[in-house]
């Protein structure tokens, strides 16, 4: 019965979708586990809400995120079958139990080289990837591409205003959902961040590059000092026209910015082939200055704007007359007229400013094929756990605790530290989830004992510890444990334990036995 429970716990951990998302994003068992943004953990909860068709966010974003499936194709192809095949990609081993799966030619390496690579986890193995579906014609010689396979050029706003009201977390969640969908559908995604300047161009067209792009988005910080949307769109259009691989790409803009755009110029640059879609987060408003009021007065063409421009021209004529007036009486009359004009212009300017403020930022909506306006999210609503979701997290936390208690595996410590961080991030919005709070505290205590045992040399690891786990454990214990031990001391201590572990003859003998068994096959 106990063995069955252990097997079921291990299976539930390996198959848990939240841990799979963490691994895909590189948070556990990979290279981005340091310097994680504080809002990172809630991104996954927001993404889960967006992916649900029963939530308000999911319904608002459905026309954009599911556009490729709903859009009719210009050339309807007859029904054609799809062929699925299991595929693999070369990857470095992550855990010792993956040793039998490495490429066989590596067993021919000299023993010292082999064991060094084993210690460094630099042995190569085939790792399964999600199957790709290839469509092929059966009734004609004309290639009929899958209409879902699209090219999208993402412009991602990283201005400082995105840090307010959870906007950056919401924007990242939208991008994460969009990238997952395109990764499944074999699409191609290009991305540039922008603020006062436009960032470098990044492309994703296969599983490894999608993972890299996903991690780049999750780690990006909103530190820009402006929102130069005009330049960002112009650069995207220029990229699409100049680069052959970008042909037919659509632009997806994710921003909170309210910015004026030169619509006529952008429409001319877009032509008939380039389309723009946008998600605008929040209802940003900017106080108009005199230069902006005058610009809008010339642009919008309302009665107040036309009258204000006429009075401004009349004022300039009176100023010239004032300079050429030869008598004091004439100058007094002109000065009086200028005062009256100034009061009339100020009143009209206030009306134009009110109109401009109400309509400022709507320029992008006029350019878009699909435009989605999102209000700032209410964290108390979005991060509130349903009873079903709460039980899912409870089961995961229990399974991790039981597995870690039975065998101190470094990957389980890695996962447990990540789950603790995730629970911490959403726990403050769910005070009623007492069981989750207790399990998070229990996992923290287990990690604290684990670190102390490693410090005293009383723990044996099934797998060598690695840097991401160390950093997560340090983060998970920042409010507890040994407060006198800084990061440098912790890393030096665990590095000594790592070297000691590698040098132990017992581990070498295990590796040799596995090697002999593999060679006999």
pLDDT digits (tens, 9 = 90+) for 405-455: 887 777 787 788 888 888 888 888 998 889 998 998 898 888 878 777 766
> Is this structure's pTM higher than 0.85?
no
Per-residue confidence (pLDDT) for residue 394, from 0 to 100: 92
Count of beta carbons in the 10 Å neighbourhood of residue 171: 25
Per-residue confidence (pLDDT) for residue 172, from 0 to 100: 94
Higher pLDDT: 479 or 255? It is 255
pLDDT digits (tens, 9 = 90+) for 120-159: 778 888 887 655 544 444 443 333 334 445 689 999 999 9
3-state secondary structure of 243: coil
What is 151-284+362-379's CATH topology? Answer: Rossmann fold (3.40.50)
3-state secondary structure of 187: coil
Residues sharing a CB contact under 8 Å with residue 386, sequence separation 6 or more, in sequence order: none
Given a cut of 80, whether residue 200 has pLDDT beyond it is: yes
Given a cut of 70, whether residue 78 has pLDDT beyond it is: no
Mean pLDDT estimate for the chain = 77
- Report the range of poorest mean pLDDT among 16-30, 105-119, 153-167, 245-259: 16-30
- Report the range of poorest mean pLDDT among 58-72, 148-162, 363-377, 425-439: 58-72
- Alpha-carbon span 477 to 239, nearest angstrom: 46
What are the residue ranges spanned by the domains of the chain? 82-135, 151-284+362-379, 290-359, 384-521
Per-residue confidence (pLDDT) for residue 192, from 0 to 100: 95
How far CA 491 is from CA of 317, 417, 499, in Å, comes to 77, 17, 12
Residues sharing a CB contact under 8 Å with residue 193, sequence separation 6 or more, in sequence order: 155, 156, 157, 158, 199, 220
Higher pLDDT: 253 or 420? It is 253
Higher pLDDT: 459 or 224? It is 224
For 130, which DSSP code?
Answer: E
Per-residue confidence (pLDDT) for residue 450, from 0 to 100: 78
pLDDT above 70 as % of the chain? 72
pLDDT band at residue 359 under the 50/70/90 scheme: low
Higher pLDDT: 116 or 85? It is 116
- Alpha-carbon span 18 to 38, nearest angstrom: 18
For 36, which DSSP code?
Answer: -
- Of the candidates 119, 6, 33, which has an alpha carbon nearest to the alpha carbon of residue 415? 33
Given a cut of 90, whether residue 173 has pLDDT beyond it is: yes
Higher pLDDT: 516 or 502? It is 516
Per-residue confidence (pLDDT) for residue 509, from 0 to 100: 62
């Amino acid at each position: 019965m106990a063995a069955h429970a252990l097997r079921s716990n291990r299976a539930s951990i390996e198959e848990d979708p939240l841990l799979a998302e963490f691994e895909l994003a590189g948070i556990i068992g990979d290279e981005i586990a340091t310097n994680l943004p504080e809002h990172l953990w809630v991104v996954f909860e927001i993404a889960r809400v967006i992916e649900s068709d029963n939530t308000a966010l999911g319904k608002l974003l459905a026309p954009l995120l599911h556009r490729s499936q709903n859009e009719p194709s210009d050339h309807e192809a007859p029904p054609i079958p799809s062929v699925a095949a299991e595929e693999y990609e070369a990857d470095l081993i992550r855990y010792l139990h993956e040793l039998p799966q490495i490429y066989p030619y590596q067993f021919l390496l000299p023993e010292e080289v082999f064991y060094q690579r084993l210690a460094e986890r630099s042995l190569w193995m085939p790792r399964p990837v999600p199957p790709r579906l290839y469509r092929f014609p059966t009734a004609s010689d004309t290639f009929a591409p899958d209409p879902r396979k699209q090219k999208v050029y993402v412009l991602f706003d990283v201005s400082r205003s995105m840090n307010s009201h959870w906007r950056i977390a919401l924007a990242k969640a939208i991008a994460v959902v969009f990238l997952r969908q395109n990764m499944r559908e074999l699409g191609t995604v290009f991305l540039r961040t922008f603020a006062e300047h436009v960032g470098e161009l990044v492309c994703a067209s296969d599983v490894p590059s999608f993972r890299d792009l996903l991690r780049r988005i999750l780690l990006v910080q909103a530190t820009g000092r402006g929102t130069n949307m005009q330049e960002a769109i112009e650069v995207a259009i220029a990229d699409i026209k100049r680069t052959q691989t970008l042909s037919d790409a659509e632009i997806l803009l994710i921003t909170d910015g309210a910015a004026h755009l030169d619509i006529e110029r952008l429409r001319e640059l877009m032509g008939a082939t380039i389309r723009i879609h946008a998600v605008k987060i929040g209802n940003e408003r900017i106080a108009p200055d005199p230069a902006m009021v005058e610009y809008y007065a010339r642009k919008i063409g309302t009665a107040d704007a036309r009258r204000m421009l006429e009075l401004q021209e009349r004022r300039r004529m009176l100023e010239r007359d004032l300079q050429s007036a030869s008598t004091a009486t004439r100058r007094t009359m002109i000065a009086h007229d200028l005062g009256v004009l100034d009061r009339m212009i100020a009143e009209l300017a206030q009306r134009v400013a009110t109109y401009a403020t109400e309509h400022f930022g709507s320029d992008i909506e006029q350019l878009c094929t699909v435009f989605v306006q999102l209000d700032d999210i209410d964290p108390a609503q979005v991060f509130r756990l349903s009873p079903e979701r709460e039980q899912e997290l409870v089961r995961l936390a229990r399974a991790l605790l039981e597995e870690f208690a039975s065998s101190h595996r470094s990957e389980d410590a890695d996962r447990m530290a990540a789950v603790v961080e995730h629970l911490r991030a959403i726990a403050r919005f769910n005070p009623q989830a007492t069981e989750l709070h207790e399990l998070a505290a229990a996992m923290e205590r287990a990690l604290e004992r684990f670190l102390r045992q490693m410090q005293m040399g009383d723990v044996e690891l099934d797998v060598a510890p690695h840097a991401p786990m160390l950093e997560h454990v340090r983060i998970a214990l920042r409010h507890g444990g040994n407060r006198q031990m800084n990061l440098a001391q912790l890393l030096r201590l665990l590095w000594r334990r790592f070297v000691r572990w590698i040098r132990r003859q017992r581990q070498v003998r295990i590796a040799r036995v596995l090697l002999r068994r593999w060679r006999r096959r």
